[in-house]
Structure 1
């Protein structure tokens, strides 16, 4: 057996895969009827195909739409008369990607739909943020400079609570979160901590840009939101909701 491959015995035949696919070979082949002309593979979306290429995940054959990762020992992919397709879930992709990159990075890569939902919630939070900030700024317009940081902070807090609620109920549903009141409260505190960098950036932009550059308040608020979004994504996605999945 080559040092770059992993093999298991099934029905008297050794099935082998590149080392990157070791856990998948162990967990996904138990129900397969093995024979000497068999290959095992998985259908690929364009996204999965590009990630495999980017991370240089070794496979027996990788092309757009299909990756072959399992084969009887001593056989070549060209000799396969039967390709059994096995579905891989997000946890399987996490194991594969983690062979090349840290789990903290591999996790969001392994679940692109969840990332899209996270982003969509964030976008909706921007609208909540702007609406609340606009209302509060209008109410405090006669109070001078204090209206800027107060309105910006009000917008920030409203969006944090909005985003937190949707992430708890939708984005991270089914990820094994502890739903006890104390645990939910801890996550709420952690999400606020994770958002501090975003808040500082946002309030700074909303306060200084109108004063220094005469930028309209809503535009300055939007600039602050965008600049803080990347930090909020990394710390919110991992630190608040996913640490139990990357340990």
Structure 2
């Protein structure tokens, strides 16, 4: 079910319009300037979107004093897709599917950054649990630079059930975790793949680690013991992109 939410930032609003989201209300600063602002104004005119020019104090309040770049919009939140339908559609793809499963990512900015990287690396869908995961809200959409509108997103009741469903459909499930001696760079990704990233504090749960098909860790050459999850996700996804490019 869709509910109204607030998003802010010119790029995020542009992506929402491109994705065909219904803009309920659009608030702008009168003297917006720059290339992105010009693109936004053109898009508003082309799509006949009603806008209101408001003082910066109004925008600050709507965006809760975050960096809105002079543009705030009320829209319906991102729709999620059904897991069974998603798998069925992925199996019809000509290219090898790549799915990202998030095990309770709690920070909305990490969530948004991951969605942005996932969209840039050609991920076909992002799966996350209904309970314990960061919400899809204005901060998520802003941090994703609008990528949240371009990716199929799937909320599931239980991550384990989703993993079993993918495995039964021929997907290889791979966890990025420090709880292994296997280097991520020794793994291969020719098959339909589900990549799993874990929560910021606890990593991937032991229950999930017990049923995955492979585990790999990214090298840490400094003194800090872990990477930010969105950075680790980017490193892993681009390794998959690199390997698949060599096979193409």
Question: Quick check: TM above 0.5?
Answer: no
Higher strand share: 2
Q: TM-score, normalised by structure 1?
A: 0.25
Higher relative contact order (CA 8 A, sep 6+): 2
Greater Rg over alpha carbons, structure: 1
Higher helix share: 1
